[in-house]
Amino acid sequence: MPGMTVRWGILATGTIAGRFTEDLRLVPDAEVVAVGSRTAAAAQAFADRYGVPRAHGSWADLAADPDVDVVYVATVHPAHYLAAMTCVQAGKAVLVEKPLTLDVPTAEHLLATARARGVFAMEAMWMRCLPAIRRMADLVADGAIGEVATVHAEFGLAGPFEPTHRLRDPAQGGGALLDLGIYPVALANLVLGPPTTIQATARLTAEGVDAHTGLLLGHPSGAIAALTCGITGATRNAASITGSDGRIDLPGPFHCPKRFTLHRRGADPEEIDAPFEGWGYHLEAAEVGRCLRAGLVESPLVPHAATLEVLAVLDAARAQLGVTYPDAG
C-alpha cells in the first residue's frame, strides 16, 4: 500500500546481517522489528546490539511473526534455500543474499513457489541497485559507447584463508565463484545478457573448491566477457566495458563504485560521480519497499530471469571445474 512502513525481519546474525540492519536506518519508510536465528541466545544478542524489538530462536518463529512484512535472509549459502522457503511458505516476502541458492534447480523451485503464492522474492544483488551501476547500464543501453565488444572484470581477495575457513569449505558453498565470481558474471549479464558459450578454468584447493577461476563467456552478438575471481591474491577489482565508440571504466571495487569514467570517441574522458551513503544495502531495501507498495512479486531492477541466468553460468562453470557441494549438484 502507498505510504506503508515496511517492517523487516532479519534472518541470521552475522556480519552482513549487521551491516544491512545498520543501513536500513537510511530508509525512512522501513524499520527492523524482529530478528531470528537458530538459537535464542544469538538472536537476543543481535537484538540487543542493534536495538531490534523482538528476538526469535528459530526461523519458523520469525516467519510466523505477524508484524514482519519481509525477511532479509543472510545465512551461509547452503542455508539460503531452506531459510527463504520457510519464509515464503509462511507468506513472507524475502530478500535473499546472493547467491539465491546453490544451484538453478533449487532457485527455480524457490522462485516458482513464491510466484505461485503471490509472494515477493528478490536476490540481494545490491550491485544492480547502486546509482553508478544503474547510470552505467543506461549509458550502455543508450549507445554511449556503441556496440559492446568486451566486458572485463576481476574480483580477488588476498587471503590467506585457513583450510577451516568458510571460503574453503565445500559444505558451506566455499570457493571464489559464489562469493566473488558472481559479481563479474552479474556485471556481464547486466550488459550482455546470458551467454551462449561458457569456458572455465581454475586451480582447486585441497578441499575441492576453486581457489582462483577464469571465465570466458561468448554472447550471441559476438561480444566476449573475460572474468576472473580468486581467494589467493588481491586484484584491482576493477572492470571495463568496451564498445565500438568508447569505453566505460569502473574502478575498484567495481561491484559497489561511487564513480566511473566514460570514454567517448573523439572526446575527453568524463568522470561521472554517483555517491551513496552507508554500505549501499539500503538501496536494495528501498527497492524491495517500492515493489511491495506496488504489489509486485519481483523487482525490475533485479529480475528473477537475471538471477537464474547468472546462477546457470556458475553451475556450468562448477561442472567444468569439478566443484561440487554436498547440498547441490
Q: Do domains 6-125+280-295 and 131-275+310-321 have the same CATH topology?
A: no
Please work out, in degrees rounded to the nearest 5, the angle formed at the alpha carbon of residue 230 by the alpha carbons of 227 and 232: 145
Distance in angstroms (rounded) separating the CA atoms of residues 300 and 305:
10
Query: Is residue 3 scored above 80 in pLDDT?
Result: no
Q: How far is CA 152 from CA 141, 239, 255, in A?
A: 18, 5, 13
Distance in angstroms (rounded) separating the CA atoms of residues 192 and 129:
17
Q: N- to C-terminal Cα distance for the chain?
A: 40
Q: Which of 56, 98, 212, 263 is the catalytic position?
A: 98
Class of the domain covering 131-275+310-321 = alpha beta
Strand partners, 228: 154, 214
Sign of CA dihedral 247, 248, 251, 256: negative
Distance in angstroms (rounded) separating the CA atoms of residues 125 and 306:
10
Overall average pLDDT of the 91-102 stretch: 98
Instruction: Give yes or no for a contact between 321 and 213, defined as CB atoms under 8 angstroms apart.
Output: yes
pLDDT for 329? 52
The residue ranges of every structural domain in the chain are 6-125+280-295, 131-275+310-321
Among residues 18, 275, 232, 239, which one has the least CA distance to residue 135? Answer: 275
pLDDT band at 327 (very low <50, low <70, confident <90, very high): confident
pLDDT for 1? 55
Class of the domain covering 6-125+280-295 = alpha beta
Overall average pLDDT of the 206-234 stretch: 97
258 catalytic per annotation: no
Overall average pLDDT of the 257-263 stretch: 98
High-pLDDT (> 90) share of the chain, %: 97
Overall average pLDDT of the 23-41 stretch: 97
Overall average pLDDT of the 37-66 stretch: 98
pTM of the predicted model, to two decimals?
0.97
pLDDT for 322? 97
Instruction: Give the pairing of strands 197-204 and 6-11.
Output: unpaired
Distance in angstroms (rounded) separating the CA atoms of residues 290 and 6:
9
pLDDT for 291? 97
pLDDT for 4? 85
Overall average pLDDT of the 142-146 stretch: 98
Distance in angstroms (rounded) separating the CA atoms of residues 95 and 105:
19
